[in-house]
């Protein structure tokens, strides 16, 4: 009987050690090493074999100029939000990992894409649901694909046997933590199993040119569960975010070998599935019956997409001694910096005031172009004077109280004009060389916070 081989793996970063360690030398975490049974594959026995058999030609180095390259067109899924986030569609042979909290809609999104890809043979493999449960969800959706096949299986060798028979054009795995390979004897979801199963699927995707989507669980701190090497192996990492108690979901890219990582997709969760939101600015602006103080509209950029979002603030005297500084959806350190600028350069006494800032719609923003809208919102709440609902802002605020230029100012102005705003306040350095006559909206160039105060309030 062969001796059982074991090794110790860090459950946080995937580092391997022949003995147990209290502290991981790679990531510095304590008590993360767990013993797992490992068993190496026999030579020549790959878990995925091409149709031609197990033999494979030995690779040899080539000059980069001698490499043959044929550009393959991307697959348009019919979902404009996913196509935008991926960089223009699905790349053949790519391995995509999508993560998110439980109940956020990862499985719904992937099943919806599988049903939307008409004309393509799709295999949806689920290790968490039975085939009848998947059919129940599919019946609620409007899209129908007669070439969509479902399989409830967790063993990778069984999955690849069905793949050999079906030869799908598109493969979805829900989820990677439920799969197990017979070449590794540890439990499903362990570092060894996740790494081995991902390696097998990556080999299959690259050798056959079949796009593979993996659904992954996340940990308490919001990162993809399993070893960090999992994110290094895949081509694209998508994050599906949002409050599951609200209707809107946000799809972001944290890694993309075939496109930008700054794009953003917004969905609305409905009973019949996820609906793409073509104009997110309309849902991010609250429909108010009366003008309120402490509210200002800012024009921001997410990738190539301009968004107008509502900044809400509340400034009131501190009643419990130490003033509170609370920020939701906005960087708290940047808020403190803007408060210091308003106190030093604007003469506002904020040292004894509680300040609460909120980005409406549940978005998390980091665009410095929203600084001017944040300052306008804080001034409005402090002075108890509302900002006109026909005005929006786009500008970065420096430590000297100067208004700095931001990128893509034309896109921001055009978006504000499209949504019916009458005026937009921008930095005067951003409009140099810009033809303002082509815009119907009135552009107000300013250089300092004092000018904003005098012209708006």
pLDDT number for residue 189: 80
Residue 71 assigned to a binding site: no
Pairing state between β 273-276 and 264-270? antiparallel
Residue 389 assigned to a binding site: no
Question: CA-CA distances (angstroms) from residue 396 to 46, 143, 197, 447?
Answer: 55, 44, 46, 11
Residue 103 assigned to a binding site: yes
Rounded Cα distance between 428 and 441, Å, is 16
Helix-, strand-, coil-residue percentages of the chain, each rounded to 5: 30, 30, 45
- Whether residue 194 is predicted with pLDDT greater than 60 in this model: the reply is yes
> Which H or E run includes 391?
strand 391-394
Q: How many CB atoms lie within 10 A of CB 339?
A: 22
Lowest mean pLDDT across 52-61, 116-125, 355-364: 52-61
Residue 40's pLDDT band (boundaries 50, 70, 90)?
low
Residue 101's pLDDT band (boundaries 50, 70, 90)?
confident
DSSP letter at 93 equals: T
Q: In what order do the strands lie in the sheet with 236-241?
A: 148-152, 122-126, 170-174, 212-216, 95-100, 236-241, 248-256, 264-270, 273-276
Helices (H) and strands (E) in the chain, counts: 11, 21
Residue 106 assigned to a binding site: yes
Please compute the mean of the pLDDT values over residues 177-188 and round it to a whole number. 84
Rounded Cα distance between 322 and 453, Å, is 28
| Residue listed under structure tokens 């944040």 | 374
Contacts of 438 (CB under 8 A, 6+ apart): none
Residue 93 assigned to a binding site: no
- Whether residue 51 is predicted with pLDDT greater than 60 in this model: the reply is no
What is the percentage of the chain residues whose pLDDT exceeds 70? 90
- Whether residue 313 is predicted with pLDDT greater than 90 in this model: the reply is yes
Burial 46-74 (b: 16+ CB within 10 A, else e): bbbbeeeeeeeeeeeeeeeeeeeeeeeeb
What token pair was written down for 356?
């609460």
Residue 87 assigned to a binding site: no
Residue 288's pLDDT band (boundaries 50, 70, 90)?
low
- Whether residue 39 is predicted with pLDDT greater than 80 in this model: the reply is no
Q: What confidence tens digit (pLDDT) does each residue in 4-33 have?
A: 678 888 877 778 888 899 998 888 889 888
| Long-range contacts, 51-54 (Cβ 8 Å, 24+) | 51/164
Please compute the mean of the pLDDT values over residues 102-118 and round it to a whole number. 90
- Whether residue 68 is predicted with pLDDT greater than 60 in this model: the reply is yes
Q: What confidence tens digit (pLDDT) does each residue in 206-223 have?
A: 999 999 999 988 776 666
Contacts of 215 (CB under 8 A, 6+ apart): 98, 99, 106, 107, 110, 172, 173, 174, 175, 176
Q: What confidence tens digit (pLDDT) does each residue in 387-429 have?
A: 988 999 999 999 999 999 999 899 899 989 988 899 999 999 9
SS3 label, residue 447:
coil
Q: Are 292 and 359 in contact (CB under 8 A)?
A: no
Nearest to 182 by CA among 172, 192, 173: 192
- Whether residue 121 is predicted with pLDDT greater than 50 in this model: the reply is yes
- Whether residue 55 is predicted with pLDDT greater than 70 in this model: the reply is no
Q: What confidence tens digit (pLDDT) does each residue in 136-156 have?
A: 989 988 878 889 999 999 999
Q: In what order do the strands lie in the sheet with 442-446?
A: 325-328, 353-359, 305-317, 295-302, 391-394, 423-427, 442-446
Please compute the mean of the pLDDT values over residues 237-259 and round it to a whole number. 84
> CA 211, 212, 216 angle in degrees (round to 5)?
150
pLDDT number for residue 3: 62
Mean pLDDT score across all residues of the chain: 86
Residue 266 assigned to a binding site: no
* CA 147 to chain CA mean position, Å: 29
Q: Are 96 and 213 in contact (CB under 8 A)?
A: yes
* CA 122 to chain CA mean position, Å: 24
Q: What confidence tens digit (pLDDT) does each residue in 356-379 have?
A: 999 987 778 889 999 999 999 999
Pairing state between β 5-10 and 33-38? antiparallel
What is the percentage of the chain residues whose pLDDT exceeds 90? 45
pLDDT number for residue 42: 46
- Whether residue 259 is predicted with pLDDT greater than 60 in this model: the reply is yes
Lowest mean pLDDT across 37-46, 58-67, 233-242: 37-46
Residue 185's pLDDT band (boundaries 50, 70, 90)?
confident
Residue 102 assigned to a binding site: yes
Rounded Cα distance between 200 and 178, Å, is 14
pLDDT number for residue 287: 65
- Whether residue 88 is predicted with pLDDT greater than 80 in this model: the reply is yes
- Whether residue 161 is predicted with pLDDT greater than 50 in this model: the reply is yes
Q: Domains in the chain, ordered, with CATH?
A: 5-38 (no CATH), 75-278 (3.40.50.300), 283-456 (3.30.230.10)
pLDDT number for residue 252: 87
Please compute the mean of the pLDDT values over residues 283-292 and round it to a whole number. 72
């Amino acid at each position: 009987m062969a001796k059982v081989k074991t090794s110790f793996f860090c459950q946080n970063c995937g580092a391997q050690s022949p003995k147990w360690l209290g502290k991981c030398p790679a990531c510095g975490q304590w008590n993360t090493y767990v013993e797992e049974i490992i068993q190496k594959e026999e030579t020549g026995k790959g878990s995925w074999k091409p149709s031609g058999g197990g033999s494979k030609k030995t690779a040899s180095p080539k000059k980069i100029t001698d490499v043959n390259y044929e550009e393959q067109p991307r697959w348009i899924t019919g979902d404009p939000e996913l196509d935008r986030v991926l960089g223009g569609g699905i790349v053949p042979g790519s391995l995509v990992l999508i993560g998110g909290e439980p109940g956020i809609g990862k499985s719904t999104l992937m099943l919806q894409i599988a049903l939307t890809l008409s004309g393509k043979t799709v295999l949806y493999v689920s290790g968490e649901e039975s085939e009848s449960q998947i059919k129940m969800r599919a019946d609620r959706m409007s899209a129908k694909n007669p070439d969509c096949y479902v399989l409830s299986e967790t063993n990778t060798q069984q999955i690849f046997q069905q793949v050999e028979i079906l030869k799908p054009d598109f493969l979805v795995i829900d989820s990677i933590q439920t799969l197990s390979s017979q070449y590794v004897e540890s439990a499903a979801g362990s570092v060894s199993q996740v790494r081995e199963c991902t390696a097998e699927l990556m080999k299959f995707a690259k050798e056959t040119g079949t796009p593979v989507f993996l659904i992954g669980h996340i940990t308490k701190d919001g990162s993809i569960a399993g070893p960090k090497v999992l994110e290094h192996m895949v081509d694209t990492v998508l994050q599906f975010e949002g409050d599951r108690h609200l209707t809107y979901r946000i799809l972001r890219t944290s890694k993309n070998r075939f496109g930008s990582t700054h794009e953003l997709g917004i969905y609305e969760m409905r009973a019949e599935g996820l609906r793409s939101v073509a104009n997110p600015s309309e849902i991010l602006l609250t429909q108010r019956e009366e003008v309120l103080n402490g509210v200002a509209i800012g024009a921001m950029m997410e990738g190539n997409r301009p968004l107008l979002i509502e900044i809400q603030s509340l400034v009131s005297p501190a009643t419990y001694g130490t003033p509170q500084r609370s920020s939701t959806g906005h960087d708290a350190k940047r808020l403190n910096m803007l408060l210091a600028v308003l106190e030093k350069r604007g003469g506002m006494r904020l040292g004894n005031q509680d300040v609460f800032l909120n980005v409406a719609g549940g978005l998390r923003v980091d665009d410095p172009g929203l600084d001017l809208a944040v300052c306008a919102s804080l001034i409005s709440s402090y002075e108890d004077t509302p900002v006109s609902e026909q005005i929006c802002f786009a500008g970065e605020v420096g430590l000297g109280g100067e208004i700095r230029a931001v990128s893509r100012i034309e896109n921001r102005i055009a978006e504000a004009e499209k949504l019916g705003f009458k005026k937009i306040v921008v930095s005067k350095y951003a409009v140099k060389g810009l033809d303002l006559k082509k815009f119907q909206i009135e552009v107000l160039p300013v250089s300092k916070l004092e000018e904003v105060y005098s012209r708006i309030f």
